[in-house]
Amino acid sequence: MRGVRATLPRKYEGVSFDRPPISDMAQAPQSRAVVEAVRAFIDDLDGNLAAGRGIWFVGDVGTGKTSLAMLISKLAMQAGRSAAVYSLPKLLTRIRRTYDLDSGDLSYSEFFDRLTSVDLLHIDDLGATKQTEWVLEQLFSIVDERYATQRSMVLTTDLAVEQLEEQIGPRTVSRLVEICGDPLPLFGEDQRYRVA
């Protein structure tokens, strides 16, 4: 999948059910059910990807949303499935680069086709960008194409569904709910401060 980011960030290469923070989350009362939902999703990974089902996480900063999402992406790639992994700000920056005809990168349509045809599209920090008409258009186009072609997504956001509707639009959120079901909640203290 030349031209799309198909690798995990270095920090998440070793992410696993058997290592912190996920092993700790599996023991904690406030996150145990979410970890079990991720296990269930992965247990039928091929079926979920074939059906275009996704999964998403909502909650406070530092509660493990990205780690769980990265684990799903990692296991999908290990299973030989194509995936693209982006934070929303980096994805939008990458889309903007397609407009630079001198960059030697893929054209917008080539990048869009690759981004919307991977088995799993992982977008971290959904809603973490300034709302503009261009951002709304890009997000809707990507989500709508994946919705129409029944392609899976894994997402994280700090915003509740109502806030996300205000940030990225109700049409986009409605499609995400149909793709991913209800968001899995992860609330509590920022665990990054415990590591420091």
Instruction: Give me the pLDDT at residue 106, please.
Output: 80
Tens-place pLDDT, residues 4-17: 666 888 999 999 99
Across the range 61-81, mean pLDDT stands at 95
Tens-place pLDDT, residues 7-59: 888 999 999 999 999 999 999 999 999 999 999 999 999 999 999 999 999 99
Round to whole Å and give the CA distance between 36 and 138. 33
Round to whole Å and give the CA distance between 77 and 7. 9
Domains and CATH numbers, the chain: 10-184 (3.40.50.300)
Task: Give the pairing of strands 83-87 and 55-59.
Answer: unpaired
151 touches 112 (CB < 8 A)? no
Measure Cα distances from 148 to 4, 40, 73, 151, 179 in Å: 20, 25, 21, 8, 10
DSSP label at 103? S
